[in-house]
Amino acid sequence: MWTTVTEPYKVNEVLYCDCICSCGTERRVKYHNLLYNLSKSCGCTKGNKLIPILERFEDKFVCTPECCWVWNGSTDKDGYGIIKETIDGKRFIRKAHRVSWFKYNGEIPENLCVLHKCDNPPCVNPDHLFLGTQAENQFDRKYKGRSGYGERNGRAVLKDEEILEIRRLGKCLTQTMIAEKFNVTQTTIRNILNRKLWKHL
């Protein structure tokens, strides 16, 4: 347990306190975590392999007026927070919002995802998270417009309006002529016309 806690002070607009644990460890802790009883010790009383990652987790997010806890550490290409840990000499990269769920809510059942109610990828506020299946995760992404289909896909060479134009031209031009016009293969045109591609339009 923390035996000594100093008055809060600001570092980069975030309030911290200097704390001393009963084991003698000194640590700077976010005032927010002390205020809401999220940090009780340096971790010496927890016999868990995730102690290092859980302790580091507390110093890597800031609260916003919208009540999101925004991750200010490393992120992946989709904007989700990530945090590294080493267990038995092996290095792992964990998703920060999954670590948050584990820290504040407990184990994540096998084959379940941790989803965001706030639709804010860097948010790690456990109150903004919920559990769901992979199918529910895909539905959630599609419902909120984050799926990589159509022109949202970074590899797409055609725009939505061009797809509509291709389907209009398919009524009067050959697939070869349309393919040449849009500089794509005839197979691509055939799949667009047969709605095997861009099925959402």
Q: CA angle, 162 as apex, 159 and 167 as ends, to 5°?
A: 135
The verdict on residue 124 lying in a domain is yes
pLDDT of amino acid 196: 78
pLDDT of amino acid 63: 79
The verdict on residue 140 lying in a domain is yes
The verdict on residue 14 lying in a domain is yes
Q: Is the pLDDT of residue 42 over 60?
A: yes
Looking at the fold, whether 77 and 141 belong to one and the same domain comes out as yes
The verdict on residue 54 lying in a domain is no
pLDDT of amino acid 46: 46
**Which structural domain range is residue 68 located in?**
63-147
Average pLDDT, the chain: 79
Q: Which residues contact 177 (CB under 8 A, 6 or more apart)?
A: 169
CB-side neighbour CA atoms (13 Å) of 90? 5
The verdict on residue 171 lying in a domain is yes
Q: pLDDT (tens digit, 9 = 90+) per residue, 65-115?
A: 668 888 888 888 888 899 887 766 677 888 999 999 988 888 888 888 898
Looking at the fold, whether 94 and 34 belong to one and the same domain comes out as no
The verdict on residue 39 lying in a domain is yes
For residues 57 and 65, give the distance between their C-alpha atoms in angstroms, rounded to a whole number: 20
For residues 46 and 54, give the distance between their C-alpha atoms in angstroms, rounded to a whole number: 11
The residue type found at 95 is K
Q: pLDDT (tens digit, 9 = 90+) per residue, 148-164?
A: 444 444 445 688 888 88
CATH number, residue 90 = 3.90.75.20
**Total number of domains constituting the chain:** 3
Looking at the fold, whether 67 and 137 belong to one and the same domain comes out as yes
Q: In percent, how much of the chain has pLDDT > 90?
A: 13
Looking at the fold, whether 41 and 7 belong to one and the same domain comes out as yes
For residues 81 and 64, give the distance between their C-alpha atoms in angstroms, rounded to a whole number: 16
With cut-offs at 50, 70 and 90, classify the pLDDT of residue 143. low
The verdict on residue 58 lying in a domain is no
